[in-house]
Amino acid sequence: MRSAMVATPLLDIRGLTVQVDGPAGPVTLVDSFDLALAAGDRVALVGESGSGKSVMARSVLQLDPDVALSGSIRLGGSELLSSGEAELTRVRGGRVGMVFQHPMGALNPLQTIGRQIAEPLLLKGVPRRTALNRARELLDELGVDRAAQRLRAYPHEFSGGMRQRVVLAMALIGEPELLIADEPTTALDVRVQQQVLSLLDDVCRRRGLAVLLITHDLGLVAGFAERVVVMYAGRKAEERPVRPLYAQPAHPYTSGLLRAVPRIDRETQRLASIPGVPPTPSARPAGCAFHPRCEVRVDRCSTEIPRPRALEHGVAACHLLGDDAEARP
């Protein structure tokens, strides 16, 4: 079911399915996924490891050559799934910037920081001095001190938080309309996490950028995103604006994730965890993939895949919503 929350999408993903070859046939990593972002939207894609959120996000830029994609991914009205490599290269680092979880993996240890930030402009034929000036301005804006000297430094000379700023500068130098940030703070300590997230918040607001923030941490996104999409086992479990989702989660999986988030506005309490572990893509249970871990499951949950149902705000896929709401234990 399409989200009614976006009038004119900048990014419009419909029925995206991502599969990879397995020993016993195709394995589905992402199943019939819909997502729409308008210009300036701030959306968080949340789920545990293995939920398919990173695979889904990387599929927008077709970064994984070994997967088969079907469905539709439109950016500003143009279909990316039928675009050639030349067009995709223009989109990557151009209209869409990407920030990865491990900045060291995104940086070339043998090249100076300046060269790496400026590269998208150099590839477009921008003169070297102009491109390096732009790189310096971006490092300044992102709070890297002595930016002019740091352009000549190498990645190993930077701390983790500073490297993430460099990666953010690389993503911003092409003046993107959409930034995809894949767990941008996971590899950092808690104090630096907050600094990087508020920096991301600032620069994206100033530019009016649409942001898709991928994270396993629902607590992290409360002050950042306007809308949250919860993913489980390759499918969308729930999509709603932040306030109603936090106040009254519709899907049992979202409830479980929220119970595991520490709250500073409540008395000290034991944090609850969701029992069990998420299934691997090649061993997903029949019916609702969450049913072996769901404390409120009913008989049909183990045989029927729940379809997304429209709620007052957003959608959620659970048999206990909509027509069957009264049956909820």
Residue 237 CB, nearest distance to ligand SF4 (Å)?
A: 7
Residue 287 CB, nearest distance to ligand SF4 (Å)?
A: 7
Residue 304 CB, nearest distance to ligand SF4 (Å)?
A: 8
Query: DSSP 3-state assignment of 4?
Result: coil
Q: Which of residues 262-321 bind ligand SF4 (CB under 6 A)?
A: 288, 290-291, 294, 296-297, 301, 306, 318-320
Q: Which of residues 149-178 bind ligand SF4 (CB under 6 A)?
A: none
Residue number with CB closer to ligand SF4 (9 or 256):
256
Task: Residue 1: name the closest of 314, 250, 212, 214 by CA.
Answer: 314
Residue 291 CB, nearest distance to ligand SF4 (Å)?
A: 4
Residue number with CB closer to ligand SF4 (171 or 318):
318
Q: Report the C-alpha gap between 281 and 29 in whole angstroms.
A: 6
Query: DSSP 3-state assignment of 280?
Result: coil
Quickly list DSSP for 213-244: EEES-HHHHTTT-SEEEEEETTEEEEEEEHHH
Phi, psi of 264 (to 5 degrees): -85, -10
Residue number with CB closer to ligand SF4 (100 or 232):
232
Residue 319 CB, nearest distance to ligand SF4 (Å)?
A: 4
Position 234 contacts ligand SF4 (CB under 6 A): no
Residue number with CB closer to ligand SF4 (224 or 290):
290
Positive or negative: CA dihedral 182, 222, 51, 94:
negative
Q: Report the C-alpha gap between 80 and 45 in whole angstroms.
A: 20
Residue number with CB closer to ligand SF4 (10 or 288):
288
Burial of 192 (0-12, 13-18, 19+ CB in 10 A): middle
Residue 273 CB, nearest distance to ligand SF4 (Å)?
A: 16
Q: Report the C-alpha gap between 40 and 145 in whole angstroms.
A: 29
String marking each residue 242-261 x if it binds ligand SF4 according to CB under 6 A: ---------xx---------
Residue 238 CB, nearest distance to ligand SF4 (Å)?
A: 10
Sequence-ordered list of residues with C-beta below 8 angstroms from that of 31, at least 6 positions apart, any chain: 17, 52, 234, 235
- Contact (Cβ atoms closer than 8 angstroms) between residue 227 and residue 43: yes
Long-range interactions of 120-129: CB distance < 8 A, separation 24+: 120/93, 120/94, 120/170, 120/173, 120/174, 121/173, 121/174
Residue number with CB closer to ligand SF4 (159 or 248):
248
Task: Find tokens 């070859």 and name the residue.
Answer: 21
Residue 302 CB, nearest distance to ligand SF4 (Å)?
A: 8
Residue number with CB closer to ligand SF4 (216 or 300):
300
Residue number with CB closer to ligand SF4 (94 or 234):
234
Residue number with CB closer to ligand SF4 (81 or 305):
305
CB atoms within 10 A of CB 1: 12
Residue 310 CB, nearest distance to ligand SF4 (Å)?
A: 16
What 3 state SS string does 34-76 have?
EEEECCCCEEEEECCCCCCHHHHHHHHCCCCCCEEEEEEEEEC
Per rule CB under 6 A, count of chain residues that contact ligand SF4: 13
Contact residues for ligand SF4, defined by CB under 6 A: 251-252, 288, 290-291, 294, 296-297, 301, 306, 318-320
